[in-house]
Homo-oligomer: A and B are copies of this chain.
Amino acid sequence: MDGIHDLGGKQGFGPINVTEPTEPFHEEWEARVWGISCSTGAPGITIDWWRYIREMTIPEDYLTRPYLDSWSESDMVTLVDSNICTVEELATGKSNTPRLEDANNITVDQALEANRMSSRRFDRPSNADPKYIVGNDVVTCQFTSTGHTRLPAYVRGKPGKVYAYHGAHLLPDAGAKGEEIAEHLYTIAFNACDLWPEAHDSNDIIFVDLWESYFDN
């Protein structure tokens, strides 16, 4: 999706607020968003579908609403999509169905343990041989999936070099549709001078993790 989220290299933004307080949460509601997000969720969701939902945020909202507020709104979309609640209920904060038994409380130690157990891996077995080895030259596709993809606009149709190979990982373009496809994943090194017109004298490198179907050659 060529959406507002695809910000790499877009100009006109800035400066950066480098004097932000170091506390993890700057507003009470931000902390609540995090706690809610950690303790609830829509069943059957994939990380890719969640990200795609986030990308479909109204562009004006995406750019102007506080980050965790907009992030929480994407969670709300998944709740409504899954019939866990309605827009009206979210607007009023009151349930239209009979009150259920309260969920169980967890302690901080249980949260820490749940966090530790939530480490997930996205590599999967694949029967296909990887097409590239480290050091190979690649050219990224100009075209992407029409829906969710993780090939950013700024590295489409660009030459790069395979820096690392990571085995086959779940392809986001499929995950956003609820499908599981394992595809070889590489870290590609792009020269800044191949990406940006003003970077012709630069030796800087931009590394991007890309799947095998994101290459043309």
Contacts and interface: CB of A to CB of B under 8 A. Distances in A.
B58 A197 contact: no
A44 interface: no
B157 A56 contact: no
Q: Which secondary structure dominates where chain A touches chain B?
A: loop
A136 interface: no
Contact of A197 (B3, B144, B157, B198): B144
Given A4-B10, A10-B4, A197 B60 contact: no
A41 interface: no
Given A56-B12, A59-B63, A64-B60, A197 B1 contact: no
Nearest to A149: B197
A2 interface: yes
24 contacts: A1-B11, A2-B9, A2-B10, A2-B11, A3-B10, A3-B11, A3-B12, A12-B55, A12-B57, A12-B62, A13-B59, A59-B63, A60-B64, A63-B63, A63-B64, A64-B64, A142-B157, A142-B158, A143-B197, A144-B197, A145-B197, A146-B198, A153-B153, A157-B157
